[in-house]
Amino acid sequence: MNKVLVTGAAGQLGRTILAASPMGWECRGLTRHDLDLRDAQAIESLIMTERPELVINAGAYTAVDRAEAESDLAMVVNARAPGALAGALSTYGGRLVQISTDYVFDGRSSRPYLPTDPVNPLSVYGTTKAAGESAAGPDAIILRTSWVHAAGGQNFVTTMLRLMREREELSVVCDQIGAPSWAPDIARTIWQLAAQRHPGIYHHCDAGQATWYELARAIADEALALGLISRAPKIRPVTSDLYPAAARRPAYSVLDDSDTRALLGDATAHWRVNLRRMLEEQATFG
């Protein structure tokens, strides 16, 4: 049986990866209490003791704005940790799956980003994730994804649900375009890529694209239909300059995952379909 370690096991993606593990894989989830990704010696010691065939690194420093003030910490977790994992695994032929982000791009493209497009991050977070891709090395599987959401997780969808219950009016940014990604479909892609054993950079996202405002409108529509909210709030589109943040975000960060889909012989559902699935699951949380 193939031994797999999954870092970030307490996060929404880590939990989903573990839940989706296929037959024939012996999986162990690692939270920050099990493995401190800031400690390269601890990483090497654990890898050499466990000797997993595969490590799926879903652990990361993801506080995009706070990273601007904590760049050293973000670099250690997002870049040096993947390097330490890759180095230890390489000593006996173990493999690494490194999760990355659309924020490695600058948003100036006029079409969805290909895995081969040059990176040019705008933020410390994006810079550290791009550095993590390099540190993972040429033998790793690197999967970039975007706007991740899962039922019960901390994400834009669950934040909007909370605010829609609390407020009668919301303002949501309408000048940033991306593609939502439902965590169960990301997990499915990760396991399929792991089975293919083809190293390289891959993209995954739901079909279609949206602004944060369009996503918020869809959340309100679906949540109202499912009884997750009692009334639809007024949602006002605003430009991002009205909500200054510490970190710059790409204005356009849609990922082209056609190469991934061709390799795996599948397709992703439209983001609106997966949003409905996610909210149906969220409804079971009460």
- Residues belonging to the active site: 125
Separation between Cα atoms, residue 57 and residue 5, nearest integer Å: 8
Separation between Cα atoms, residue 220 and residue 122, nearest integer Å: 30
For residue 122, give the 3-state DSSP assignment.
Answer: coil
- 170 in Cβ contact with 146 (< 8 Å): no
For residue 181, give the 3-state DSSP assignment.
Answer: strand
Smallest CA-to-CA distance from 220 within 162, 174, 262, 268 is with 162
Cβ-based burial of 271 (10 A; exposed 0-12, middle 13-18, buried ≥19): buried
What radius of gyration, in Å, describes the C-alpha atoms of the chain? 19
Which residues, at least 6 apart from 84, have a Cβ–Cβ distance to it below 8 Å?
Answer: 40, 43, 44
Helix, strand, coil % (nearest 5) of the chain? 40, 20, 40
